[in-house]
Amino acid sequence: MKRSMMKRNWLSLLCVILLAAGMGTTVHAARPVDNDGDGWKSNQDCNDNNPAINPGAIEICDSNIDENCDNLIDCADATCSSNPVCQGGTEICNNGLDDDNDGLADCADHLDCNGQPGGPGGELCAQTETGFCNDGFDNDADGFTDGADTDCQAQVEICNNGSDDDADGLTDCADHANCDGMLGGPMGQLCSGNEAGYCADGFDNDADGLTDTADPDCQAGAEVCNNGLDDDGDGLTDCADADCAGVPACSAGNRLTATRVAGTVLGIGPGDGLWNATTATTYSMLWRDDIGDTCPPGSNCSGQQPTLNVKAIHNGTDIAFLLSWNDLTASSAVYEPKDFGDRAVIMLNANRICQMGSPTNPTNMWFWNAADKTQGQYGSVQNLLGGGIGTITHTSGDDNIQVISNHTGTGWQMVMSRPLAAIDPADQFAFNLGVTTEVAFALYDGAYKQRNGAKWISGRESMDIAP
């Protein structure tokens, strides 16, 4: 027994010596394997049981699986940025990606992103920087922002700011080539090549240093250009008289004619063939904000400048106007108090300050609102009367004005029609064949929250009703 104990003690000592000498047992880790046979070992493959998932796989952008093992799934993976499956194949205009795979990202994709939020502060994408010159954002994605963009550098005469914007040596109303027929006075008075026809508005319309009756154009015997009389006895009346040359009401470029046609006019739409019988008159609209709190300084209420094309036809009984203008966003529904619809106004007998008429000679306005569906899917029309600034009233003459509208994707086409005769001459303007009246137009872009005094407006122009 003593010998046996000595033997066990000797064996224990031997184990201690061997372990101390580094001769203990070594445990080896399992070697990486390729279970799914996709060429990637288990220490590289994030799912070694599926050959479709490995670092060399192509990310499938709608599978909710990380196929290429980069810990990013579907649209979060940069490899999906050019795949049409992002967000249903539509362009997201502020994520830095070419979502619809057309080679253009965000605001550079003018087809999809113009008028859509593209900047970090909600700034809008646009095809031109014009109208977005103080938002600190490159709206047209041409590499130039605000004043650094030639779109924002003064090249067109602004007719009521006291500056020679186009550097031709002529300022405001004195620049007849650019400003005749445009708003030039502090109260909306028009610039003109002749004071005749503007002899009581308190403004030097032709910029010759003489105002109203102090100007020989307005003194006794001078031709008055819009009263149907041969005032100076030379056998020529109104615009046919050379004395009226340069008066906006006699400008052929902006003179609208309601052409007589054979056929039904009341209730027609923009695509009716009767419109082919006449040509459009084009109006370059000017931004106006009569109420400062409608569009506070620094805010972008003006948006993009619209160009308005107008046609007018009548059949001896009814008259119709076709208005077409550029507007990339169709604001034709209002869901919250902060939303506003696109709107357009035709002003008839627009013969006083700001085209708003006077108490004894009011302006009749047809006011269309795309978002007001009380009269149907094409928007609704209100018949308004203006007897001066701040005196607009809603009358009962809406019932006989019909409207058909259509948004083409790039702008509006809208027809308003009505019988030539007025329901009540106190509420509506009555059209008389062979007579000239003065008209004006206003446009509101709901996407930019334009309303009240903040709007785009034309000059006061002439319209002939063909006999």
pTM of the model: 0.52
* DSSP-derived 3-state class of residue 448: helix
The pLDDT of residue 90 is 64
Integer Cα distance of 149 and 118 in angstroms: 17
Q: Are β-strands 307-314 and 256-260 bridged in parallel, bridged antiparallel, or unpaired?
A: parallel
* 278 strand-pairing partners: none
The residue ranges of every structural domain in the chain are 154-248, 252-465
Nearest to 359 by CA among 396, 387, 386: 387
* 260 strand-pairing partners: 314
Residues in the chain: 467
Give the list of residues 6+ apart from residue 170 with CB closer than 8 angstroms, or none: 157, 164, 176, 177
Integer Cα distance of 42 and 57 in angstroms: 15
The answer to whether domain 252-465 has CATH 1.10.20.10 is no
Using an 8 Å Cβ cutoff, are 385 and 392 in contact? yes
User: What is the longest distance spanned by two Cα atoms in the chain?
Assistant: 157
Integer Cα distance of 350 and 116 in angstroms: 36
Using an 8 Å Cβ cutoff, are 444 and 291 in contact? no
The pLDDT of residue 402 is 95
* DSSP-derived 3-state class of residue 243: helix
Integer Cα distance of 331 and 342 in angstroms: 5
Integer Cα distance of 5 and 41 in angstroms: 53
Distances (CA, A) of 170 to 158, 180, 196: 11, 12, 21
Task: From first to last of the 467 residues of the chain, give the pLDDT tens digit.
Answer: 445 545 555 455 544 444 445 444 444 556 888 888 888 988 888 998 999 999 988 888 767 888 899 888 877 777 776 555 574 456 889 998 888 878 889 999 988 898 889 988 888 898 888 767 778 899 999 998 877 777 776 556 778 888 776 667 788 899 887 787 777 887 767 788 888 778 878 899 999 999 988 998 888 777 777 666 777 778 887 777 777 766 665 655 578 999 999 999 999 999 999 999 998 988 878 877 665 555 655 556 778 888 899 999 999 999 999 999 999 889 988 777 777 899 999 999 876 444 555 555 678 899 999 999 988 899 999 998 876 555 566 666 667 899 999 999 889 999 999 999 998 888 888 999 998 888 989 999 998 888 877 888 887 788 999 99
The pLDDT of residue 18 is 45
Distances (CA, A) of 353 to 150, 212, 356: 34, 14, 6
Give the list of residues 6+ apart from residue 328 with CB closer than 8 angstroms, or none: 114, 115, 304, 410, 411
The pLDDT of residue 319 is 97
Specify the residue for token string 């029309």: 381
Give the containing element (helix H, strand E) for 15. Answer: helix 2-20
Using an 8 Å Cβ cutoff, are 380 and 366 in contact? no
Amino acid identity of 187?
M
The pLDDT of residue 89 is 54
The pLDDT of residue 1 is 47
DSSP codes, 117-166: B-STTSPBP-SSSTT-TTSSS-TT-SS--GGGSGGGS--S--TTSSS-TT
